[in-house]
A and B are shown apart, each in its own frame.
Chain A
Amino acid sequence: MDFLANLALGFGVALTPANLGFALVGCLVGTLVGVLPGIGPVATVAMLLPLTFHLEPVSGLIMLAGIFYGAQYGGSTTAILVNMPGETSSVVTCIDGHQMARNGRAGAALTVAALGSFFAGTVATFMIALFSPPLAKVGQSFGAPEYFSLMVVGLIAAVVLAHGSIIKAVAMVLLGLLLGLVGTDGQTGGQRFTFGITILSDGIGFVPLAIGVFGLGEVIANLVHPQQRRDLVSSKISNLWLTKEEFKQAWPASVRGTLVGSILGVLPGGGATLSAFAGYVVEKKLARDPSRFGKGAIEGVAGPESANNAGAQASFIPMLTLGIPGNAVMALMIGALTIHGIQPGPQVMTERPALFWGMVASMWIGNLMLVIINLPMIGLWVQLLKVPYRQLYLAILLFSAIGVYTVNNNSFEVILTALFGVLGYVFIRLECEPAPLLLGFILGPLMEENLRRAMRISGGDPMIFLNRPISLGLLIAAALLLLVVALPFIRGKRDEVFQG
């Protein structure tokens, strides 16, 4: 069986002592930063990205995946213990997880989050192994028009799933596309928007953009609007075990959450956050006694935590097989692959099977490591949470600066980061969601290239996008997505979901 042979190849790569070590370091560092409040997974991954640049591509990606999962886990720990989501996908975990902690069941909440995530991660890893090859095959049959339409779907989905005004989200996509075009035009060699700055002819780096907009913007926001006092549950977390009753309530929720997350994660625009919200809604709807929710219902932790991990992992599928990022973190992953000299797309699986399957296998290993290291190390993470923000943000600033600087040993990128930081805060204040911007930024050059190719094939006739069946289907899907969100009924639901 191909499937098993592929996984065997992957585990062969991932289980070498060196790569196990990198996975472990990645998980640890990711959790460490993920625990810190006020830095989301995008900023975490962006900040730690430079640590992986000096490694072999496989090892670098394995470590990066570890960082990503670590950040996810860290986020739920803060959600449960401090009622502060380390990242948006843990927002719902706060609701019941923190109540459980206040009821003296912090240990159980952490265990259920960890085990639920591990279960979801295992299932999602198998899903990746199962569905990636056929999807990549589909991708290989795509021509320029299909790719262009696919990216349109991805961007529309990102817009639809962004908070707040849709027009603003579209404008953010356009802004991202424009920023992505800065530099030398790959086709004609012409300079665009470089304003005479030589370094800009290589384009704007995505690390400065991501760290600035997502990381520094948040820091400024946190300084301007200090968080209310953190509600740290500091009673000793003695009992990590679930009671029989809790286990009975939790496992079906975990399975349902995994299912929800696996499906939503694959969709463009999906991923951890959407999955977590959907997972919570499902649990509340199915519960025999919905009034328990919000008061420490264990299903309210198990469902969304499984869903967000499954979703986070499933969102690797379109990224790895088609080269299309479904969300901001995947956009970062694409950037990281490119820095390692790998052009993401369907050819990765066939041309670099060891890299592809090694990464898939390391996802499962990373999930396992997180269960093992996280539960015993809870005490350490709690200590970290006691560090006041007035000290913490200085460390964030420093690691951002060093992270950006070491990408190219280039001071200019640090300056750029500072500017993007201000812009990031402006976006927060003006209620412009930055995720669509990052997606547009990553997809900008790719979209232009495919648009140009498509136009050359068709001799300048835009009908080519409607004449080819797959492309037409994708564009119809994009149009439906927009239409659906425009309907007043769904609009209300969408706002409701985002209100959490």
Chain B
Amino acid sequence: MPAPPPRFHFLRRADVLAGLLFIAVAVIGLWASRHYPIGTTTRMGTGYVPRLLCWILLALGALIVVQGLRAGGFIELGRPIWRAMVFVPLSLLVFAFLIGPFGVVAATVALVLVGALAGRESRPLEVVAVAVLLVVLTLTIFVWGVGLPIPVWPEW
């Protein structure tokens, strides 16, 4: 016997969610551009094209939702999704905040340590080895090789 569909399963369809995403973007766009001058067709203002695009996107989004509701199936969500979806972007954020004040070496190590949490099969010793290797590579390729003007060490 197949497992019963999850609650709100009609919301868990790829097309429904995609349509809702497009609608959301369109609505935010329309809201954000509510004060933009539209101008006339001959002399288009700042808001003319963006608002036009948002309205079309809104219509398409609605169409996609309707299509999705008629189709079957739903997408699985599970623990590993959140792991990767949280720690992958987080590792970049950490890098972004550290590189200015602390330099690329510290930022690299932090990125690797945080990024390692995104995978399910990371091994602590290996992660440390990868971090060391990547620091060496970064320094040889980007700093000394290409000569990118990036801060290397903490500034104090």
How many angstroms from the CA of A167 to the CA of B59 in the assembled complex?
11
Q: Is B142 an interface residue (CB 8 A)?
A: yes
* Inter-chain contact B119/A400, CB cutoff 8 Å: no
Contact A193 B21 (CB under 8 A): no
Identity of the chain A residue whose Cβ is nearest the Cβ of B147 in the assembled complex: A54
Q: Which of A190, A391, A393, A411 contacts B45 (CB 8 A)?
A: A190
The answer to whether A171 touches B61, judged by C-beta atoms less than 8 angstroms apart, is yes
Q: How far is the CA of A191 from the CA of B127 in the complex (A)?
A: 44
Query: Cβ of B42 and Cβ of A459 under 8 Å apart?
Result: yes
Tell me, yes or no, whether A368 is within 8 Å of chain B by CB.
Answer: no
Across the interface, do B92 and A188 meet the contact criterion of CB distance under 8 Å?
no
Q: A44-72: which residues lie under 8 A (CB-CB) from chain B?
A: 50-51, 54
The A-B contact count (CB < 8 A) is 194
- State whether A460 touches B42 (Cβ < 8 A): yes
What 1/0 mask marks residues of chain A from 284 to 304 whose CB sits below 8 Å from any chain B CB?
Answer: 000000000000000000000
CA distance A62 to B153 in the complex (A): 33
Known: A171-B64, A178-B53. A223 touches B118 (CB 8 A): yes
Q: Which of A301-327 contact B (CB under 8 A)?
A: none
Question: Smallest distance from the beta carbon of A316 to chain B beta carbons, Å?
Answer: 25
Q: Could you say which of A255-263, A369-377, A422-430 contacts chain B?
A: A422-430
The number of residues on chain A lying at the interface, defined by a beta carbon within 8 Å of a beta carbon of chain B, is: 63
B85 interface residue, CB < 8 Å from A? yes
Residues 105-128 of chain B, each 1 if its beta carbon lies under 8 Å from chain A, else 0: 001100110011011111100110
Decide yes or no whether A181 CB sits under 8 A from chain B: yes
Residues of B close to A220: CB separation below 8 A: 84-85, 88, 118
Selected from A51, A193, A418, the residue in CB contact (under 8 A) with B50 is A193
CB-contacts of B7-33 with A (<8 A): 14-15, 17-18, 21-22, 25, 29, 32-33
- The interface centre, meaning the residue of A185, A406, A426, A430 with most chain B CB atoms within 10 A of its CB, is A430
A212-248 interface code vs B (CB 8 A; 1 in, 0 out)? 0000100110011010000000000000000000000
* B41 x A418 contact (CB < 8 A): no
CB pair A193 B32 closer than 8 Å: yes
Q: Are the CB atoms of A175 and B22 closer together than 8 Å?
A: yes
Give Cα A175 to B26, complex, Å. 9
- B39-87 interface with A by 8 A CB criterion: 40-47, 49-50, 53-54, 56-57, 60-61, 63-64, 67, 75, 80-81, 83-85
Assembled-state Cα–Cα distance A377/B76 (Å): 42
Contact A414 B92, CB 8 Å, known A54-B147, A192-B50, A390-B119:
yes
Q: Is there contact, CB below 8 Å, between B63 and A167?
A: yes
Check A418 against B93 for contact (C-beta < 8 Å). Answer: yes
Separation of A418 and B116 alpha carbons in the complex (Å): 16
B interface residue numbers (CB < 8 A to A): 14-15, 17-18, 21-22, 25, 29, 32-33, 36-37, 40-47, 49-50, 53-54, 56-57, 60-61, 63-64, 67, 75, 80-81, 83-85, 88-93, 95-97, 99-100, 104, 107-108, 111-112, 115-116, 118-123, 126-127, 130-131, 134, 137-138, 142, 146-150
The 10 closest A-B pairs by CB, nearest first: A190-B46, A418-B89, A460-B41, A414-B96, A460-B42, A223-B84, A418-B92, A430-B18, A411-B96, A401-B95
Give me 24 A-to-B residue pairs in the complex whose CB atoms sit less than 8 angstroms apart, sorted by A's number.
A54-B146, A165-B15, A167-B67, A170-B60, A175-B22, A181-B53, A187-B44, A190-B46, A193-B29, A220-B85, A223-B84, A224-B80, A390-B121, A393-B115, A398-B115, A398-B138, A401-B96, A415-B93, A418-B93, A421-B92, A422-B85, A425-B85, A426-B21, A431-B15
